Structure 1
Amino acid sequence: MERLNTKLYVENCYIMIENERLRKKAELLNQENQQLMFQLKQKLSKTKNPNGSNNGNNHCSSSSAPGQ
């Protein structure tokens, strides 16, 4: 019985370590996903402007704010 408890304890430790590793990886992937979404939105907002300017001086658009 003692050996089984020890084995389960060690297995549980490995699972917790792997869980933490996967949690960190998921966090990094989420950050990468958010960055890619931000870049995609920037590209899409540039393609909506037919003149190619993105400084907001040529159009009166409430959807394009400087710095976004």
Structure 2
Amino acid sequence: MERLNSKLYLQNCYIIQENERLRKKAQLLNQENQALLSELKQKLTKANPKPNPNTIPDLNLCSTSTSNPTNSSKP
């Protein structure tokens, strides 16, 4: 029983480390996505100096990343 608990403990530690690594990667990808989105919006604004709200799509609707990746973990 003690050996099983030790094995499960080590697996849990590994999962926690992997989860943290993935969380950091998700945060970096989200930051990169936001920077690219901002750059794209600036380019669209420069290409169309008098923007018509009906012609420029809301690019935030395409964003699938969350600002809080901890809420997306599975039980």
TM > 0.5 fold call: yes
Q: Where in structure 2 are there 5+ consecutive unaligned residues?
A: 52-75
> How big is the shift at 1:23?
0.3
Runs (4 or more) in structure 1 with deviation over 4 Å come to: none
Aligned-pair identity in percent equals 69
What per-residue deviation string (whole Å, max 9, x for no partner) do you get for residues 16-38 of structure 1? 00000000000000000000000
1:47 and 1:4 map into 2 onto residues whose CA distance is 63
Q: Where in structure 1 are there 5+ consecutive unaligned residues?
A: 50-58, 62-68
Larger Rg: 1
Match of 2:18 in 1: 18
Other structure's SS at 1:18 match: helix
1:45 and 1:37 map into 2 onto residues whose CA distance is 12
Give the structure-2-normalised TM-score: 0.65
> How big is the shift at 1:46?
0.7
Higher relative contact order (CA 8 A, sep 6+): 2
Give the structure-1-normalised TM-score: 0.71
Match of 2:46 in 1: 46
Match of 1:37 in 2: 37
> How big is the shift at 1:47?
0.7
> Superposition RMSD on alpha carbons, in Å?
1.6
